[in-house]
Amino acid sequence: MKAVYEKTTAFNDLVTGYCPGCGHGIVQRMIGECMDELGISDRLVAILGVGCSSPSWRFMTYDILSVPHGRPGAAASGMKKCDPNKIVYTYQGDGDSGSIGFSETVYPAVRGDNITSIIVNNTVYAMTGGQMAPTTLAGQVTTTSPKGRDVNATGQPLHLPELVASLPGSRYVARVSLHDTAHIRKAKQAIKQAFENQINGVGYSMVEVLSPCPSIWRMKPVDCMERIAREVIREFPLGTFKGA
């Protein structure tokens, strides 16, 4: 018999611990598949910020560095400079990258460092219980925007990829989504492209992934996917903003 679907070697036998319907497991599995397909398991390093994915070192089999909230971009730059052989990627949420770590996330692109940035955007601070994030949609209710996000007081949702794409130092910038199988396949292609770029010395790549959060959104997983397709994509358009 021929195997048509296997577990990636990037995971051990522990369960992820993510909530049912969470997107992190899908994204980290896709990264694992890329690792296997590109033959970089000896070189790959994930740099984790602080968020729901911080404890994910438990179930991954390759090298992990866990750094302060928002700082994976700077740590990735330093690591790549000290050891250019590494394939270094940052793995952050939208709050880690777009709020507390805004500077450290944008500057690797300013410098054009040859690293890969994966950002999981679920429009909220999920780990801390659902507070307003820089990516929270206008009118979206969170624990710190109980009447819905007032964009007159808190600004419009932050579009990190579009901003980074405008910098001369970035080479490949895309936004993808997990809301159905077709889009998950596209997301995988974008993530693989971002790693291939680093392997080939092309330069800085960023992929933002729109991802569901059933626990904080207080929705069934299927409804979360519908919300992304219906509402979230309207604010955060999918596509490749830079590079092929």
Partner 1 sequence: MGDFKFIKGNEAAAEAAIRAGCEGFFFYPVTPSSEIGEYMANHLHRTGGVFAQAESEIAAVNMMFGGAATGARVMTGTSGVGYSLMSECISYMAGAEVPAVIVDVMRAGPGLGSLEPTQGDYNQVTKASGHGGHIIPVYAPSNAQEIVNFVHESFGTAERFRTPVVVLYDGYTGQVMESVEFPEGRQEKKPNTWSLDDAPGRKGRVVRSGYAGGIGQHSFELYAKYDDMKEKLQRFEEYQTEDAEIILVGFGIVGRICKSVVDKARDEGLKVGLIRPIMISPFPAKAFAKYKGTKVKFLTIEMSYGQMCHDVALAVGENDNTHFFRDKCGSLPAMSEILNRLRQLKGENS
The rounded radius of gyration (Å) of the Cα atoms in the chain is 17
200 binds partner 1 (CB under 8 A): no
According to DSSP, the residues that pair with 175 across neighbouring strands are 208, 239
Q: Check residue 71 for interaction with partner 1 (CB under 8 A).
A: yes
87 binds partner 1 (CB under 8 A): no
Q: CA-to-CA distance for 87 and 63, rounded, in angstroms?
A: 10
In the complex, the smallest distance separating the C-beta of residue 65 from partner 1, rounded to whole angstroms, is 5
59 is an interface residue for partner 1 by CB under 8 A: no
Q: Which listed range, 24-32, 43-51, 116-124, 196-204, lies at the site for partner 1 (CB under 8 A)?
A: 43-51
62 binds partner 1 (CB under 8 A): yes
Between CA 146 and CA 99 the distance in angstroms is: 20
Q: Which residue stretch of 60-68, 135-143, 150-158, 172-180 sits at the interface with partner 1 (rule: CB under 8 A)?
A: 60-68
**Closer residue to partner 1 (CB): 115 or 228:** 115
Question: Does 31 participate in binding partner 1 (rule CB under 8 A)?
Answer: no
Q: Which DSSP string corresponds to 62-125?
A: SEEEE-STT-HHHHHHHHHHH-TTSEEEEEEEHHIIIIITHHHHHHHHHHT-S-EEEEEE-SEE
Residue 125 to residue 207: CA distance in whole angstroms: 19
Residue 75 Cβ, how far from partner 1 at the closest point, in Å? Answer: 3
Please list the residues that pair with 199 across neighbouring strands: none
Which residues of the shown chain bind partner 1 in the complex (CB under 8 A)?
42-43, 45, 47, 54-55, 57, 60-68, 71, 73-83, 85-86, 88, 103-104, 107, 110
